[in-house]
Amino acid sequence: MSIPKIVVVGGGAGGLPLVTKLGRKLGRVGNADVTLVDSSSIHVWKPRFHEVATGAIDADLDAVDYRAHAQLNHYRFEPGTLTEVDTANQQLTLAPLHDEHGKEVLPQRQLDYDYLVLATGSQSNDFGTPGVRDNCLFMDSRAQAERFRERFLNACLHANYEGKPVSVAIVGGGATGVELAAELHHAVSMLNFYGHDKLDRKHLQVDIIEAAPRILPVLSERVSATATKRLEALGVKVRTGVMVAEATEEAFVPKDGDPIKADLLVWAAGVKCPEWLGQIEGLTTNRINQVEVEPTLQAKGHKNIFIIGDAAFLIPEGAERPIPPRAQSAQQMAQHTARSLQQLLMNRDPRPFEYKDHGSLVSLSNYSSVGMLMGNLKGGNFFVEGWLARMMYISLYRMHQAALYGWPRTVMLLIAGRFNKLVRPRLKLH
**Tens-digit pLDDT profile for residues 71-83:** 999 999 999 999 9
Instruction: Tell me which of 420 and 152 has the higher pLDDT.
Output: 152
CA 19 – CA 25 distance, rounded (Å): 10
Q: What is the pTM of this model?
A: 0.91
Give the alpha-carbon dihedral of 251, 149, 42, 399, to 10 degrees: -100
Taking a C-beta distance cutoff of 8 angstroms, is the pair 309, 332 a contact?
A: no
Nearest to 276 by CA among 118, 139, 78, 40: 118
pLDDT at 75: 98
Q: Would you give the DSSP letter of residue 75? A: -
Helices (DSSP H) in 43-195: which residue ranges? 49-54, 59-62, 66-73, 132-135, 142-162, 175-193
Confidence check: pLDDT of 377 > 60: no
**Tens-digit pLDDT profile for residues 160-195:** 999 899 999 999 999 999 999 999 999 999 998 888
Reported as type and span, the H/E element at residue 240 is strand 237-240
CA 125 – CA 104 distance, rounded (Å): 31
Taking a C-beta distance cutoff of 8 angstroms, is the pair 335, 356 a contact?
A: no
Confidence check: pLDDT of 358 > 70: yes
| C-alpha distance from residue 192 to each of 157, 204, 390, 394 (Å) | 11, 12, 24, 25
pLDDT at 72: 95
β-pairing, 251-254 vs 260-261, is antiparallel
Reported as type and span, the H/E element at residue 397 is helix 386-405
251: CB partners within 8 A, 6+ apart: 169, 259, 260, 261, 262, 265
Three-state DSSP class for residue 281: coil
**Tens-digit pLDDT profile for residues 278-307:** 889 889 999 999 999 999 999 999 999 999
